[in-house]
Amino acid sequence: MDWIPRVTIFHCINSLEDIESLNINIDYPFEIRSVKMPCSGMTKEVYLLKAFEAGADAVIVLMCPEGECRFVEGNIRARKRIERARRLLDEIGIQGDRLSAVSLEPGNEAEIVQMILRTVAAVRELGPNPAADPASAAGPITENSDQDQHSLTFAEKTDDCRRAKTVCGNQKTRMAV
């Protein structure tokens, strides 16, 4: 399989502190990079679109469940902006379904992992981002980004994921900057 799905996850640090802590057992390689936010209310349409410009095939925004936002309304605003961005993506011709808003109980890392894997499975059905450069590895999120970035390519993190190395023997993926 030539194409390695690329997922960008925006997460508020209250819903998930760091994706490093996630233990992902995967059947196939994918790349994931994360963007931390102090609150999901920091989500802006422009960042979501830029994630797709940078080559993401799917974008997840992980937030606290409704009623549990530490800053009260952040997750409500986030959902509205994400919905708007989804519609805009549809109009652009990049399926809005590539962008999802997810809320899970904080601390439940197993569930977060399952959600990520489901997203990867779903994006494999959709195919690569039609606006991404074909057959290229991920580049940095644009220079304009003013947010934390942290990138992880599971296929190479063999310490964390033995299965990945077993399944994906080739070196097509590379660690992103």
Partner 1 sequence: MIVGEQKPFAEIKKLVWPYERLLILGCGTCVKTCFAGGEDEVAVLASAIRLAFKKERKPISVEELTIERQCENGFIGASAPSVARNQAVLSLACGAGVQAVARRFANIPVLPGVNTGFIGVLEKQGLFTEECSGCGNCRLAVFGGVCPITRCAKKLLNGPCGGSRSGKCEVNPETDCAWQLIIDRLTALGQLDNLKAYFPPTDWRSGSARGPRKLFREDHVI
Q: How far apart are the first and last CA of the chain?
A: 23
CB of 15 to partner 1, least distance (A): 24
46 lines the binding site for partner 1 (CB under 8 A): yes
CB 125, CB 37: distance < 8 Å = no
49 lines the binding site for partner 1 (CB under 8 A): yes
* Neighbouring residues of 2: CB distance < 8 A, sequence distance ≥ 6: 135, 172
52 lines the binding site for partner 1 (CB under 8 A): yes
The tokens of 62 are what?
């992980």
Of 71, 82, 70, 78, the residue nearest 106 (C-alpha): 70
Instruction: Mark the segment that binds partner 1 (CB under 8 A) among 24-32, 43-51, 63-71, 169-177.
Output: 43-51
77 lines the binding site for partner 1 (CB under 8 A): no
93 lines the binding site for partner 1 (CB under 8 A): yes
Instruction: Mark the segment that binds partner 1 (CB under 8 A) among 1-9, 15-23, 24-32, 38-46.
Output: 38-46
Which one among 92, 121, 135, 175 touches partner 1, defined by CB under 8 A?
92
In whole angstroms, how far apart are CA 59 and each of 7, 79, 117, 165, 175?
A: 6, 13, 13, 25, 19
Which one among 3, 28, 53, 79 touches partner 1, defined by CB under 8 A?
53
CB of 19 to partner 1, least distance (A): 24
3-class SS of residue 109 = helix
Contact residues: partner 1, CB under 8 A: 44-46, 49-50, 52-53, 88-89, 91-94, 130-132
